[in-house]
Chains A and B, each alone.
Chain A
């Protein structure tokens, strides 16, 4: 029992470190998923003036399917006050792993989605894409170091805990 307890206490920080590391990866994957979504929106609006409902029903990306965002998005009705994207982002706040800056950029884009002329809509898509790609580039650069840090800290704390308890 004592051994089991020691193992649990030492492995918990390792598990937490690995979780943080995976979460950092998940955050980047979701961000890349949103970038692909905005590109798809831009494409469908530019070439076929597709309605919001049609745009979202014709697109899928694993990172945003797995976390339940796309099923939520597709279930929302088009029209009304806020865009489908805005409503989905607000409702999905609890399970999305995107950071504040990404969330703010997407919400700002969602406010104008479906409410402005074609030229303005395409310009808004481009502005949103540009900002998201900048954020993604920073995260991609920082990801390996961040993951290494999380794992290392987890192992270090686990090892220290084990030593202290022994």
Chain B
């Protein structure tokens, strides 16, 4: 996935020129670009956050290039393909996804109608998260998959759950854990494997439910696709939990991710505690970052 090359066409001219001038190594390690109206632009790699002046040199925050209102409107216009009205439902939820899988977290002026958030007005911040395909990142998880099983992958935000899930899905469907498994991937936000993504060439038996709500996708998958494994990202709401419990009756293992840093923390959240009490998952796979490097810890759950 050439994330930065996919990002550049969406950016306002001043920012696209700045990013184009970055070194190849820096472009490859870039994870996030954040624009905040009238505030400094920030760039993040796996290990650090830094700022650039308008000449492209690293600098302190008060010397950094700033985003203007025009920049925000230009970027939003491109992310919405010139049609904001078409993307209002996801904008209300605070995000947009491009066809290349770049997720833009957005926030601004909330517009309420009869007490319900109905639209977003002016945009004040955009967080562009670049997807990365890192073949091999799921090696340690695949080691536990000689037989399909239900695993919950947890980590704080920004550690690499989605990147790991992407590599895992591609490889387990292609037989890297033994034999190829039929995987139903419920990709609600189109982040894990955007349709047409180049990394599909590494995949095998994947049935992609792109843009489906998790509950709908899991139900359709179990009823019509006879999957050997269901994969989805970011579970946590009551609807997700209810859908998962319903799917468990079908006996199809589930690999999912959730925000969290430890098993104990999950137990403090009622929806997640319900899942753990029902012993839905046989293993909790915990990701963390130490000195910029990914660290994995496994916790087997007694069934």
Binding site for B on A (CB under 8 A): 45, 49-53, 78-81, 83-84, 114-119, 121
Contact = CB atoms under 8 A, between A and B. Distances in A.
Contact of B85 (A45, A79, A83, A84): A45
B158 interface: no
A81 B70 contact: yes
Q: Among A51, A78, A117, which residue has the most Cβ atoms of chain B within 10 A?
A: A117
Interface in B102-128: 111, 118-119
B81 A115 contact: no
Contact of B78 (A49, A80, A84, A117): A80
28 contacts: A45-B85, A49-B85, A51-B81, A51-B83, A51-B86, A52-B81, A52-B82, A53-B82, A78-B82, A79-B77, A79-B78, A79-B80, A79-B82, A80-B82, A81-B70, A81-B74, A81-B77, A114-B82, A114-B84, A115-B73, A115-B77, A116-B84, A116-B85, A117-B84, A117-B85, A117-B111, A117-B118, A117-B119
The 7 closest A-B pairs by CB, nearest first: A78-B82, A79-B78, A52-B82, A117-B119, A118-B85, A114-B82, A49-B86
Contacts of B83: 49-52, 78, 114
Interface of B: 10, 70, 73-74, 77-86, 88, 111, 118-119
Q: Interface on chain A toward B: helix, strand, loop, or mixed SS? A: loop
Q: Interface on chain B toward A: helix, strand, loop, or mixed SS? A: helix
Contact of A78 (B73, B81, B119): B81
A52 B73 CA distance: 16
A118 B80 CA distance: 13
A96 B79 CA distance: 31
B40 to A, nearest CB: 22
